[in-house]
Amino acid sequence: MIKKELQTFFATPIGYLVIALFLLFNSLFLFVFKTDFNILNAGFADLNAFFYLTPWIFIFLISAITMRSFSDEIQAGTIEILKTKPLSNWQIVLGKYIGSLLLICIALIPTLIYYFTISKLGNPIGNIEFATTFGSYIGLLFLAGAFVAIGLFSSTFSNNQIVSFLISVCISFILYYLFELISNNDPTIQNIGMYQHFQNISKGIIDTRDVIYFISISVFFLALTKIRVEKI
């Protein structure tokens, strides 16, 4: 199932387009556009701008990747064929989940060049915080895992990909930033959303509470997806 998902992504321009757009958006904001995200104008040898920007790109990019996962199956009527195969509903859901997550991982690999570029531009050379950068990448993986689970769940609601995309974007935004927005710096409210947990991991300290939070979000939405698939 995982192999099928990856083949679907790369048998068409979808997979290559996703990776290209992700790298293009990041590169333009980090090195070309004269904004607060431009690393060359910041005067600091760090990737904070990249790790602030990427979660927002993920909300839209991952929603676009996953919107077709079950929507296409429902529209084409192949969901019934898929369910008759010797695969459990969990295997179907996890296959699509891991396939989409692997595509995001592949898209993240080329961004390591940002780390080496900033490392070379630092004064002295190599003057970049490794622990913080490593923690931020780990945080992005956990965040991507949660967004993919949300996207799969959203794709079970309609055979219309746009509807699935919009549902995914809304849920992802609410869980990522809305609680931070309304928290008024209340830690209890902040900890409901993903933003604070991502920030914690980005500091280079992998706290089990943050890890459990992201895993719980992913498992929760995957379980909801399985329930939805059973009812289709």
> pLDDT for 141-157, tens place per residue?
999 999 999 999 999 98
**Greater pLDDT, 3 or 206:** 206
What is the overall mean pLDDT for the chain?
84
* pLDDT in the model for residue 1: 60
Cβ distance 53 to 155 under 8 Å?
no
Domains: count for the chain: 1
CA-to-CA distance for 98 and 92, rounded, in angstroms?
Answer: 10
Alpha carbon distances (Å) from 29 to 26, 55, 193: 5, 14, 26
CB 176 within 8 A of CB 59: yes
- Quickly state the pLDDT bin for 217 (edges 50, 70, 90): very high
Question: How far apart (Å, rounded) are the C-alpha atoms in residues 143 and 55?
Answer: 8
Q: Lowest mean pLDDT: which of 69-73, 106-110, 208-212?
A: 69-73
- pLDDT on residue 157: 87
C-beta neighbour count of 46 within 10 angstroms = 18
Residue ranges making up the domain that contains 41: 2-231
More confident call, 126 vs 118: 118
Q: How confident is the model at residue 6 (pLDDT cuts 50, 70, 90)?
A: low
As a whole number, mean pLDDT of residues 47-67 equals: 89
- Specify the range with the lowest mean pLDDT, choosing from 58-72, 166-180, 207-221: 58-72
Amino acid sitting at position 23? L
129: helix, strand or coil? coil
